[in-house]
A and B are shown apart, each in its own frame.
Chain A
Amino acid sequence: MSKQDDKWIEIVREKLDNYSPVYNASDWAKLAGKISAASGGHVWLLSKLISSVKVILVSTLIITSVAVSTYLYTKKDTKKNNKTTNTIINENKTGNITTSDNSKSESAKTKVLEIANNIDKNIIEKKGQNNSQTKKESGDNENKNNSTGVILTNKNLVPTPDNNNNLSKEEKRTMIPYNGTTQTVKSANENRSFNQHNKQKERPDKTSFAKLTPATFIADNKISTNRLTTPIRQNTMPATKTKKIKEHIEKPFYAGISYSGFYTNNTEWQQNKYLSLFGLTFEKYIFKKISISFNPKLSVNGIATKHTDYETPEDSLYTPVYIDSSEVYTSKLSFIEMPLLVNYNFYSGKKFNLLATIGVTSKYTFSSSNNLSDDLKQYNNKFTFAQAGIFSIKYERKLNDNLFFDFEPFFEFPIRKEPEIFNKNFYGFNLCLKFKLF
């Protein structure tokens, strides 16, 4: 009995050991749903934490940017309003000096007078080092200068601070002609011109007091005459000290329209598809070379997917097709993408700029059309949310002062891997036409 027992059991064992059922994909679909549910619960806290950190970082970045830009603007305004440092000087066509308003005119005069006074003092010191004969020549030359050179009047001269009514000839000679354009100051004994743009070439002999005109003194002492004579480019007077005025950093704001395209080759979707997205773009410079851009966009041709009658349709909605299904649903997925990017301008040319970009993008996916039964359609009301990181290089072409065209190839990598269709790297490009609003 036992031997016979052993025989039939041996056969049963052998048959069972050699048996291998055929793979059924729907069994895996069930397990995939369980895995998603299990991993979703397990990682919930971590994902919440990461999301919170991201929100905090982005908020901090925005707040810091606004604060810094506000601070810089406030600082600039303070400087502008400080009468002891800067005064805007306008000039008219006749070369007369006028100030932008009456309140500023006094401080402008004060500034110019201070400079002129300093020049006078230096000249007097040098004058003491020369003999009286030179002084005489100087006086004669001055008369000639007045007769042949620029007409010096109270309107286009800046008086010395000593006493406007008691100006001596010597003192008058030190007055600085100021007509805003390139000046030619003729010396007394020779009609030698001194072009201030070429002052290094025509610098007069320092030892000769006769040649020591205010212009030459300015040149000798390396005082920037541009501040005094070329207000066309910078309509500002210099500060009391010869510190260079900090240039105004332009932080423009751009707005425009964009087009994005990328090619998908996901075999799970059983198709290769070129996706197009249209959107808006907003870009604000927060520093001289750093800008933040926001580029919301919408996919215009959704991704068509198929899925089977899985146990949990919610899981199956974004799951690829299995051919051995008894019932197949199709749905068309669309998504709204909201990238937030930080751009760094690493090359500024006359015609184009190059920028490196890094940022994050959020994709809100929804099923735009489907053939789901009514009881399953409820799952379509639910947005799914994917996040990805972006790296790109932006070529920014200047069409004119206010119009720009961008070409931006980008690389996207998934951060939050849901839904599954976005769980892969993407390569694509952005085209953008943007206008400088202010």
Chain B
Amino acid sequence: MELFKVRKKENTLTQILIKCSSGNQKAQEHLYKEYYGYAMSIALRFSNNRDSAVDILNNSFLNVFQYLTKNGEKEIKNFKLWLRKIIINKSIDYYRSNKNKYDIEYDEYLPDTDIPEDVISKMTAEDIIFQLQKLPDTYRLIFILYEIEGYSHKEISDKLNIKETLSRSNLSRAKNMLRTILQKADLHE
């Protein structure tokens, strides 16, 4: 029964993608609606505010629709994974284009601090995203790519065009800073 449901959903998705290929705006809206939650949650992790996240999300979907219109849906094996990669790439592009614009000064030295599990557990996802957005763009990007998306330092260095060592050191700093931010957030509550 479950298999049947999965296949039915795949068929529906294929039909929507076919319609999107022909430029059907209704189908595009349907697809956008269907994957909005999934895609937006990824975009929000990488961005420092909601508007940026929406920009990343919309640019990603625009790429999806343009690709579908040009190449069709046949080569797309796993749409969800494909969409995720597009969003990550768009986030990196967004970071590159706004690197100088939004980078803020922050303290270089941050002490290693422990963070109790219960502090994190009682936080909602929105709270965590809100705290993540307080991180500098570079730190946040490296932290999310490495810890959440599972990229290696080699891949991160390739994507961001930085050295591996810098990726490692920035990840360490990002973790320390996030711990501090989360503890502060817990204290304020």
Contacts and interface: CB of A to CB of B under 8 A. Distances in A.
B125 interface: yes
A1 B44 contact: no
A4 B114 contact: yes
Interface stretch (B55-63, B88-96, B160-168): B55-63
B41 interface: yes
A24 to B, nearest CB: 8
Interface of A: 1, 4-5, 7-9, 11-13, 15-24, 27-28, 30-32, 34-35, 38-39, 420
- Most chain B Cβ neighbours within 10 Å, of A27, A28, A34, A39: A27
Given A4-B114, A5-B175, A35 B125 contact: no
Interface in B111-138: 112, 114-115, 117, 120-121, 123-126, 128-129
21 contacts: A1-B114, A4-B114, A5-B175, A8-B115, A11-B120, A15-B124, A15-B125, A20-B37, A23-B33, A24-B36, A27-B40, A28-B33, A28-B36, A31-B58, A31-B61, A32-B29, A35-B25, A35-B65, A38-B62, A38-B66, A420-B25
B16 interface: no
B126 A19 contact: yes
Please classify the interface of chain A as helix (H, G, I), strand (E, B), loop, or mixed, using the class held by over half of its residues.
helix
A1 to B, nearest CB: 7
Contact of A11 (B23, B37, B57, B117): B117
Given A16-B148, A27-B40, 7 more contacts: A8-B179, A9-B175, A13-B148, A20-B40, A21-B37, A27-B58, A28-B32
A13 B61 CA distance: 24
B181 to A, nearest CB: 12
A18 B123 CA distance: 13
Contacts, number: 79
B48 interface: no
Contacts of A5: 175
B82 to A, nearest CB: 18
Contacts of B41: 16-17, 19-21
Contacts of A9: 147, 175
Contacts of B37: 20-23
B121 A27 contact: no
Given A20-B37, A22-B37, A31 B129 contact: no
A80 B32 CA distance: 73
A16 B115 contact: no
A7 B62 contact: no
Contact of A35 (B28, B120, B121): B28
A133 B147 CA distance: 134
B54 interface: yes
A27 B36 contact: yes
Interface string B127-158: 01100000000000000000110000000000
B36 to A, nearest CB: 5
B67 interface: no
Contacts of A7: 117
